[in-house]
Amino acid sequence: VQLFASQAEMATDLELESSAEHVAGLGDDAFWSSGAGVLFVRKGDRGVAFSDPDFAVSSDTDTAPRDALVTLARTALPNL
């Protein structure tokens, strides 16, 4: 888990967004990058990235890694 306190801090992670899958209903913006195994969530000027290198090797049709991180993000988001 990586926390970001400003837009500048999350700039590198936001570069993944154009090639990632948007995740609706999570923060102000959220996306899943299957190639990187990262779920990124932005809420205002703060952000959080949930990553697991093991998820980067999962198939694009296997949604279990993404779904697990979305569940974790929904739990953590109120505390961001």
What is the torsional sign of CA 26, 78, 38, 14? positive
Question: In this predicted structure, what is the pLDDT of residue 36?
Answer: 84
pLDDT computed for residue 57 by the predictor = 63
Report the predicted TM-score, pTM, of the whole model to 2 decimal places: 0.86
pLDDT, residue 60, reads 64
Mean residue pLDDT across the chain: 88
pLDDT at 20 over 80: yes
Give the tens place of pLDDT for each residue, 33-69. Answer: 888 889 999 999 999 999 877 766 666 677 888 888 9
